[in-house]
Structure 1
Amino acid sequence: MADRTKQHLVIYKNATKTFEGEVGEKTVAITGLDAGTVVAEGDYQVAWSDGTNESDKVDVPAFTVNSAETKPEVVSNVTATPTDDGANVTGE
């Protein structure tokens, strides 16, 4: 496996660099999309970069941004019942 300690991932959309990961990391985030956005395979491409040279670009697989419905509701009716060393917290 290649040594990636001095490289980072770069994301392109329509041939424009849009996101860059941290050097030495094997992940990069695509952010700023609305909930429920459907992204087709190839809408984004990813490549390794050492800051000067880049690998060939590879299509990012299709994905759908999580919608608000996938996020649990905010906890309500929170109560705290004291114990000898803290509290038991409940919520709905």
Structure 2
Amino acid sequence: MAANYDYEEAPGSYDDVNRQDLGYDPNFVPDSVKSFVVHLYRHIREKNVYEIHQMYENSFQTLSDRLFKDTPWPSVDAVSHYVDNDQVFCLLYREM
């Protein structure tokens, strides 16, 4: 069973309010995205295929629907320092 992380919860959270007020900023990384990126990176490093799949199929879609309906996800440069500037992860993130 997949774990429920905090990035999948709290509709109408602080992230949603700030994004609506500020408009799109490719360098703004909502807390839920920080958490998602850190967890996904950890699962990739641990080669936890089940969790990677769950995060991509479920959590990524949930966050996309909730925070990024009309805008792209934060830039690779904005999230790279959360994943130790890992080039492989950054390539994967860019493709998502």
- TM tier relative to shorter chain: under 0.3
Under a length normalisation based on structure 2, what TM-score does the superposition of the two structures give?
0.27
| TM-score normalised over the length of structure 1 | 0.28
Indicate the structure whose relative CO is greater, using CA pairs within 8 Å and at least 6 residues apart. Answer: 2
Larger radius of gyration: 1
Q: Which has the higher strand share?
A: 1
